[in-house]
């Protein structure tokens, strides 16, 4: 079917009272960004629905992208015809010919927002329904949960027909909750944590600690590739690389091995918090999962978290590793995450990190390094890169003409 429009139904926005307008505008902006390579599409957003007028763009390429955008409950590809009974019936039959395989039940749901149209919704239901039964005499009508719901909507500018409802990603439009700094390693957990935070409307900036020459160019590439995988869900993401070599060398030089990990994490958190402030972020997000490794026991969390009162969102804190992996596969970050390039934590990992670090000791040992100076130098040398929405698997028709 050559669809002319996609009708988008909002997710949870409807419950958001006076913020509704802001939510809808944000969603429209995110859809625009995700569909950036289809410049002919026109987006019309109103209070109840968003209409994407395709203007000849191919819906089969657009649908998979739209399915990733948070804030969409579901959507229906539709076809517009003249507001003329014969044209409507003709298109309804054509759509069902393509959709009906001989076993499904169906119903017609007509809606008339243009009240000047000659038939009301009840009359349209009967009329279109009968036309389908004429075509397929064996087809069953079912009012509750039919397999095919053939929708006919009479609007001011035409009649719209659709027979499919595609599930959206749910959640809230990215950006409506404010900004958070995602501590993004090259591992499995932090991209999943980022994805889940985006699902609840958080706009991400990715903070990545790199310790060249101990960590490789490939490890950095990997972190950027993981970031790119998150962009289809909410638009481009700022990637901030923090030079961490000096900090790690100092920790190694001055602090007892058993406390390397705790102090390293505290330095990461302090730096992320300083960057958050600079970037006007509200919270920090990380990929910690309770009990997974020494740094992620509750005792460690207490010792590490002591350096800031900024809220830390830990979306995967209570998930099992296998559950996290499942999600990582779903969002296609898993294969990148398991590439064997060491990150800064692996390389400086002590053989026996403390699972129950004592705060007084942590503070005492930290007195041996110049926390403020190390931070100042790291912050003075941040590298920023805007990771744009992925467009790896397609060249748009528009581009081909250029």
Q: Minimum distance from CB of 106 to Mg ion (Å)? A: 51
Q: Which of 77, 168, 175, 187 binds ligand ATP (CB under 6 A)?
A: 187
Nearest to 391 by CA among 34, 32, 14: 34
Residue 159 or 312 having the CB closest to ligand ATP: 312
Q: Find the residue with minimal CB distance to ligand ATP.
A: 187
Give every CB contact of residue 109 below 8 A, 6+ residues apart in sequence.
Answer: 125, 149, 150, 151, 152
Q: Minimum distance from CB of 275 to ligand ATP (Å)? A: 11
Tokens 């998150």 belong to 230
> What CA–CA distance (Å, rounded) separates 21 from 245?
46
Size of the site for ligand ATP (CB under 6 A): 20
- Show the binding pattern over residues 199-238: x = contacts ligand ATP (CB under 6 A), - = does not: --------xxx-----------------------------
Strand 202-210 versus strand 178-183 pairing type = parallel
Residue 217 or 394 having the CB closest to ligand ATP: 217
Half-sphere exposure of 303 (CA within 13 A, CB side): 27
Residue 118 or 385 having the CB closest to ligand ATP: 385
- Contacts of ligand ATP in 270-329 (CB under 6 A): 286-288, 292-293, 295-296
Residue 209 binding: pick among ligand ATP, Mg ion, none (C-beta 5-8 Å cut-off by kind): ligand ATP
Residue 226 or 251 having the CB closest to Mg ion: 226
Q: Minimum distance from CB of 341 to Mg ion (Å)? A: 11
CA-CA-CA-CA torsion for 195, 200, 205, 207, nearest 10 degrees? -60
Residue 31 or 294 having the CB closest to ligand ATP: 294
Is 353 a binding residue for ligand ATP by CB under 6 A? The answer is no
Residue 401 labelled as part of a binding site: no
Residue 265 labelled as part of a binding site: yes
Asked if 219 contacts 342 with a C-beta cutoff of 8 angstroms, the reply is: yes
Q: Residue 79: helix, strand or coil by DSSP?
A: strand
- Contacts of Mg ion in 168-187 (CB under 5 A): 185, 187
> What CA–CA distance (Å, rounded) separates 128 from 15?
34
- Contacts of ligand ATP in 326-345 (CB under 6 A): 343-345
Give every CB contact of residue 254 below 8 A, 6+ residues apart in sequence.
Answer: 365, 368, 369
Q: Minimum distance from CB of 337 to Mg ion (Å)? A: 9
CA–CA–CA angle 31, 35, 40 (5° rounding)? 110
Structure-block tokens of residue 400? 């081909």
Check the CA dihedral 353-363-190-187 and report its sign.
negative
Residue 208 labelled as part of a binding site: yes
Write down how long the chain is.
402
Residue 7 labelled as part of a binding site: no
* Interacting residue ranges for ligand ATP, rule: CB under 6 A: 183-185, 187-190, 207-209, 286-288, 292-293, 295-296, 343-345
**Interacting residues with Mg ion (CB under 5 A):** 185, 187
């Amino acid at each position: 079917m050559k669809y002319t429009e996609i009708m988008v139904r909002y997710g949870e926005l409807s419950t958001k009272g006076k913020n509704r307008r802001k939510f809808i505008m944000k969603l429209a902006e995110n859809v625009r960004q995700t569909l950036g390579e289809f410049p002919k599409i026109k987006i019309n957003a109103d209070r109840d629905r968003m209409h994407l007028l395709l203007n000849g763009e191919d819906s089969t390429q657009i649908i998979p992208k739209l399915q990733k955008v948070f804030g969409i409950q579901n959507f229906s590809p539709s076809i517009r015809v003249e507001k003329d009974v014969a044209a409507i019936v003709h298109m309804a039959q054509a759509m069902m010919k393509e959709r009906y395989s001989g076993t499904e039940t169906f119903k017609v749901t007509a809606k008339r927002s243009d009240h000047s149209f000659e038939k009301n919704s009840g009359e349209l239901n009967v009329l279109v329904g009968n036309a389908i039964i004429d075509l397929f005499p064996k087809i069953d009508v079912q009012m509750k949960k039919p397999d095919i719901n053939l929708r006919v909507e009479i609007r001011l500018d035409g009649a719209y027909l659709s027979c499919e409802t595609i599930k959206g990603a749910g959640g809230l439009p990215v950006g409506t909750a404010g900004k958070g700094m995602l501590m993004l390693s090259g591992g499995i957990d932090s991209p999943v944590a980022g994805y889940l935070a985006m699902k609840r409307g958080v706009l991400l900036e990715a903070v990545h600690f790199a310790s060249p020459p101990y960590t490789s160019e490939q490890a950095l590439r990997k972190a950027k590739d993981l970031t790119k995988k998150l962009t289809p869900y909410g638009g481009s993401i700022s990637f901030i690389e923090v030079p961490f070599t000096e900090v790690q060398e100092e920790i190694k030089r001055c602090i007892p091995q058993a406390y390397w990990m705790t102090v390293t994490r505290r330095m990461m958190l302090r730096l992320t918090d300083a960057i958050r402030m600079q970037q006007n972020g509200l919270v920090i997000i990380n990929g910690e999962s309770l009990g997974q490794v020494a740094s992620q026991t509750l005792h460690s969390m207490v010792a590490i978290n002591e350096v800031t009162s900024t809220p830390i969102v830990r979306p995967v804190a209570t998930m099992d590793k296998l559950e996290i992996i499942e999600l990582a596969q779903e969002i296609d970050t898993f294969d990148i995450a398991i590439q064997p390039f060491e990150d800064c934590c692996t390389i400086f990992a002590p053989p026996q990190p403390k699972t129950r670090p004592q705060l007084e000791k942590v503070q005492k040992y930290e007195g041996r390094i110049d926390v403020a100076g190390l931070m100042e130098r790291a912050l003075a040398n941040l590298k920023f890169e805007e990771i744009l929405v992925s467009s790896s698997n397609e060249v748009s028709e528009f581009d081909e003409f250029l």
